[in-house]
């Protein structure tokens, strides 16, 4: 258990207890509420049973009274009790890394009490991995505890459970046991935390308490365990032999595994090299096979084509030889030559016309580009003209001469001039020329040198402005530093005034506290003097009186407390010894009473009481030959109870009480067999 807390229950508003070190100390007088605080944490926060809060048993502590007694708030009161459990999870235990983290689980319950009905009207339980005070708050912004609806919205509806589901979740998550088994475990916890269990232990009832608290063992499990115990010797021998065999096999496997691992690694390396060589050879063989197939196909196609060409060539040579011998062939050859010359000239003319048309289209595109550039130049110069006056104003503000701003030239944005010309569009002699419109861009009045001069002047102005801007930024930073220093000075002066005022108030408060301390010290001394003469000290005093100082300070008070404890320590020791002796006497009396009760029960039931077998009694006796002495005699009525007890004790000590009495005429008495002849 890591932490615990109580919110708005009993006398607690919002309290957190730290149990991270494994120990916690609750200090206070009897009746101050130490036990009640522990009852509100455990096992209430692990079982959620509102009627099992008290350590002395069922319904011994009323949670309704804890919520409503001395409560003067609103009509309803909501409170919480919670505990935080933690465990370390070693995520790297298998791999040997050793890295782990802490897991947290918060268990608790909330109750709602009605001041009007004087009853607990609602209760709820919750289990969550969120931590109170670390992302989870059980009170709202107005310091009012959250209701069940708000808690479900905060941690999720699956984390707010009913009582049975809450116990099942705790049993599984915290203890790792099923829900029915968890009920037995809770019963054991409630029994052992009862403050009266110590008295029952002294009475010898610890075995009975544990037997009542723990569930009975399964008979099948008992028989199985008995059978297992019978086989323990053979199992032990088998374990010894198996351990020896395991050690030998471990040594062998260690050596053989190293050898096998080395052999496998060498074989794997050889196999890997061989596989690489095979893959390389397979890729080379595939490339060569593809190349061979392509070469064979090309060779076959070339041989087929060669045979066809050779046959065609021979046939063509024969035909050409026959045609060349004809007179018309020579005239046709001259005509074909002239037609070829005309076709070439026509193709050149068509190409020239197409080139001229493309050049006219390029010229028209160039004119459009010039017009776009002129319009853009006019827009840029117009924008620059609009910035002239603001620039002069800013130069005037920064202390520079506004006359340095150059005049911005203007450019006209008139359209291109259109001219109409006649050009030939087809190479045919009978084709007429066609009219073509050609655009000419307007002339520009501004020279490039003028624009370059304006740009240079503008660059000079920008450089001067940047220098002035840097100077202004430096001055602004210096002014900001001075303002910050001035604010710090004012803050230090205010701090000094506040410190002086606080010192004055502290001095006044110290004087007031000193006066109150003196009054409390005098009252405390009076209480000590009254304690010295009251209670048990009124009748029994130590040998030396307790010296009391006239004035008290913290050191003197601590010294007086130590001295008072030492002063009454003999009386405390004696009281403790008397209490221990009384407890021992009480235990002896209880033991005696139990023995007498058992004897009385036996007498009432008619069961005859037989004395214990003496040390001189024979191991076996034949009931047909005699009887014990105490069965054959009885006390005379005139003998009182005290004398009867003495005679019976003497006979038992001497071994005659259970002596075996036989008839006369039997063999001589056996002294060690405790046999007497009547």
Where helices occur in 325-406 by DSSP H, the ranges are 327-386, 388-398
Q: Is the pLDDT of residue 58 over 70?
A: yes
Determine which of 23-32, 385-394, 412-421, 638-647 has the lowest per-residue pLDDT on average: 412-421
* Sign of the C-alpha dihedral computed for residues 479, 484, 489 and 493 taken in this order: positive
Check residues 228 and 509 and name the one with the higher pLDDT. Answer: 509
What pLDDT is attached to residue 456?
79
Residue pair 54/194 in contact (Cβ under 8 Å)? The answer is no
Check residues 169 and 304 and name the one with the higher pLDDT. Answer: 169
Element (H, E) at 51: none
How many Cβ atoms from other residues are within 10 Å of residue 161's Cβ? Answer: 19
- Maximum C-alpha span of the chain: 192
Q: Are strands 3-9 and 12-18 parallel, antiparallel or unpaired?
A: antiparallel
- Please state, in angstroms and rounded to a whole number, the distance separating the CA atoms of residues 108 and 17: 14
Which residues lie below 8 Å from residue 620, measured CB to CB, with a gap of 6+? none
What pLDDT is attached to residue 271?
82
Q: How far is C-alpha 572 from the geometric centre of its chain's CA atoms?
A: 51
- Please state, in angstroms and rounded to a whole number, the distance separating the CA atoms of residues 39 and 364: 102
* DSSP states of 544-587: SPPP--SS--HHHHHHHHHHHHHHHHHHHHHHHHHHHHHHHHHH
What pLDDT is attached to residue 514?
81
The average pLDDT across 113-120 equals 91
What pLDDT is attached to residue 100?
55
Residue pair 632/661 in contact (Cβ under 8 Å)? The answer is yes
Nearest C-alpha neighbor of 410 from the set 435, 441, 386, 438: 386
Nearest C-alpha neighbor of 123 from the set 190, 55, 45: 45
Nearest C-alpha neighbor of 464 from the set 539, 379, 405: 405
Residue pair 131/84 in contact (Cβ under 8 Å)? The answer is yes
What are residue 81's DSSP bridge partners? 6, 109
Q: Is the pLDDT of residue 568 over 90?
A: no
Tokens of 377: 């130049």
Element (H, E) at 662: strand 660-662
Q: Is the pLDDT of residue 429 over 70?
A: no
* DSSP states of 73-93: SSSEEEEEEEEEEEEEEETTT
What pLDDT is attached to residue 445?
65
280: confidence class by pLDDT, cuts 50, 70, 90: confident
Nearest C-alpha neighbor of 674 from the set 662, 649, 608: 662
Q: How far is C-alpha 494 from the geometric centre of its chain's CA atoms?
A: 47
Residue pair 159/126 in contact (Cβ under 8 Å)? The answer is yes
Q: What is the CA radius of gyration of the chain?
A: 60
Which residue in this structure is represented by tokens 């001067």?
464
- Please state, in angstroms and rounded to a whole number, the distance separating the CA atoms of residues 107 and 606: 58
How many Cβ atoms from other residues are within 10 Å of residue 124's Cβ? Answer: 21
The average pLDDT across 432-438 equals 74
Which phi and psi (to 5°) does residue 132 adopt? -65, 130
Residue pair 401/392 in contact (Cβ under 8 Å)? The answer is no
What pLDDT is attached to residue 507?
86
User: Whole-number mean pLDDT of the chain?
Assistant: 80
Q: What are the percentages of helix, strand and coil residues in the chain, rounded to 5? A: 60, 15, 25
CB-based burial label for 132 (10 Å; 0-12, 13-18, 19+): buried
Between the CA atoms of 7, 61, 71 and 75, what dihedral angle is there, to the nearest 10 degrees? 80
- Please state, in angstroms and rounded to a whole number, the distance separating the CA atoms of residues 197 and 205: 9
Q: How many residues are present in the chain?
A: 678
132: confidence class by pLDDT, cuts 50, 70, 90: very high
Nearest C-alpha neighbor of 457 from the set 409, 411, 410, 407: 407
What are residue 677's DSSP bridge partners? 662
* DSSP states of 581-599: HHHHHHHHHHHHHHHHHHH
**Distances in whole angstroms, Cα of residue 668 to Cα of each of 660, 662, 674:** 13, 10, 11
358: confidence class by pLDDT, cuts 50, 70, 90: confident
Check residues 423 and 120 and name the one with the higher pLDDT. Answer: 120
Which residue in this structure is represented by tokens 């701003």?
405
Collapsing DSSP states into helix, strand and coil, what is residue 405? coil
Determine which of 393-402, 508-517, 581-590, 633-642 has the lowest per-residue pLDDT on average: 393-402
Q: Is the pLDDT of residue 407 over 80?
A: no
- DSSP annotation of 617 reads S
CB-based burial label for 26 (10 Å; 0-12, 13-18, 19+): exposed
**Distances in whole angstroms, Cα of residue 586 to Cα of each of 196, 200, 594:** 15, 12, 12
What pLDDT is attached to residue 344?
78
* Sign of the C-alpha dihedral computed for residues 344, 350, 353 and 357 taken in this order: negative
136: confidence class by pLDDT, cuts 50, 70, 90: very high
For 86-115, the pLDDT digits (tens) are 987 654 444 344 445 789 999 999 999 998
For 622-638, the pLDDT digits (tens) are 777 788 888 788 888 89
The average pLDDT across 374-379 equals 76
What pLDDT is attached to residue 420?
76
- Please state, in angstroms and rounded to a whole number, the distance separating the CA atoms of residues 603 and 646: 21
Tokens of 415: 């359209």
């Amino acid at each position: 258990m890591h932490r615990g807390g109580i919110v708005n229950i009993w006398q607690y508003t919002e309290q957190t207890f730290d149990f991270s070190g494994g120990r916690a100390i609750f200090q206070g007088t009897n009746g101050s509420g130490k036990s009640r605080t522990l009852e509100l944490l455990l096992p209430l926060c692990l079982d959620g049973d509102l009627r099992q809060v008290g350590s002395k048993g069922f319904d011994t502590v009323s949670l309704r009274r804890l919520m409503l007694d001395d409560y003067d708030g609103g009509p309803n009161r909501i409170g919480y009790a919670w505990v935080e459990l933690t465990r370390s999870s070693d995520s790297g235990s298998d791999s040997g890394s050793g890295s782990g983290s802490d897991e947290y689980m918060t268990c608790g319950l909330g109750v709602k009490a009605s001041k009007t009905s004087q009853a607990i009207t609602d209760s709820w339980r919750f289990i969550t991995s969120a931590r109170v005070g670390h992302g989870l708050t059980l009170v709202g912004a107005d310091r009012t505890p959250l209701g069940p609806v708000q808690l479900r919205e905060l941690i999720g509806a699956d984390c707010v459970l009913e009582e049975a589901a809450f116990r099942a979740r705790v049993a599984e998550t915290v203890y790792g046991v099923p829900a029915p088994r968890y009920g037995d475990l809770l019963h054991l916890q409630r029994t052992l935390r009862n403050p009266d269990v110590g008295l029952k232990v002294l009475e010898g009832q610890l075995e009975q308490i544990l037997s009542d608290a723990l569930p009975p063992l399964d008979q099948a499990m008992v028989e199985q365990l008995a059978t297992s115990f019978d086989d323990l010797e053979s199992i032990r021998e088998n374990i010894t032999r198996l351990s020896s065999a395991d050690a030998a096999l471990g040594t062998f496997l260690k050596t053989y595994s190293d050898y096998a691992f080395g052999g496998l690694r060498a074989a794997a390396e050889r196999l890997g090299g061989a596989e690489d060589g095979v893959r390389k050879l397979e890729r080379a063989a595939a490339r060569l096979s593809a190349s061979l197939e392509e070469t064979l196909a090309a060779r076959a196609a070339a041989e087929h084509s060669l045979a066809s060409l050779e046959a065609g060539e021979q046939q063509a040579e024969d035909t050409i030889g026959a045609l060349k011998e004809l007179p018309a062939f020579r005239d046709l050859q001259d005509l074909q030559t002239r037609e070829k010359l005309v076709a070439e000239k026509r193709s050149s003319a068509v190409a020239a016309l197409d080139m001229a048309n493309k050049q006219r289209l390029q010229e028209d595109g160039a004119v459009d580009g010039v017009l776009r550039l002129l319009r853009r130049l006019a827009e840029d110069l117009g924008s620059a003209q609009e910035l002239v006056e603001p620039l002069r104003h800013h130069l005037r503000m920064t202390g520079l001469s506004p006359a340095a701003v150059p005049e911005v030239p203007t450019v006209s944005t008139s359209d291109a001039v259109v001219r109409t010309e006649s050009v030939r569009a087809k190479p045919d002699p009978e084709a007429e020329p066609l009219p073509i419109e050609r655009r000419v861009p307007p002339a520009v009045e501004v020279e490039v040198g003028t624009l370059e001069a304006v740009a240079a002047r503008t660059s000079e102005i920008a450089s001067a402005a940047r220098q002035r801007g840097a100077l202004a930024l430096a001055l602004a930073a210096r002014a900001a530093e001075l303002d910050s220093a001035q604010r710090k000075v004012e803050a230090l002066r205010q701090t000094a005034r506040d410190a002086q005022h606080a010192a004055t108030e502290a001095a006044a408060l110290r004087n007031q506290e000193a006066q109150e301390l003196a009054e409390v010290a005098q009252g405390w001394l009076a209480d000590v003097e009254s304690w010295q003469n009251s209670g048990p000290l009124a009748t029994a005093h130590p040998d030396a009186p307790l010296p009391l100082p006239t004035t008290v300070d913290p050191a003197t008070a601590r010294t007086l407390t130590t001295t008072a404890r030492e002063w009454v320590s003999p009386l405390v020791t004696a009281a403790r010894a008397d209490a221990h002796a009384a407890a021992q006497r009480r235990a002896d009396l209880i033991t005696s009473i139990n023995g007498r009760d058992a004897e009385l029960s036996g007498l009432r039931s008619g069961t005859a009481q037989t004395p214990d077998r003496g040390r001189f009694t024979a191991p076996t006796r034949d009931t047909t030959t005699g009887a014990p002495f105490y069965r054959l005699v009885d006390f005379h009525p005139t003998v009182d109870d005290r004398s009867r007890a003495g005679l019976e004790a003497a006979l038992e000590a001497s071994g005659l009480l259970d002596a075996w009495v036989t008839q006369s005429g039997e063999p001589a008495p056996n002294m060690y067999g405790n046999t007497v002849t009547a």
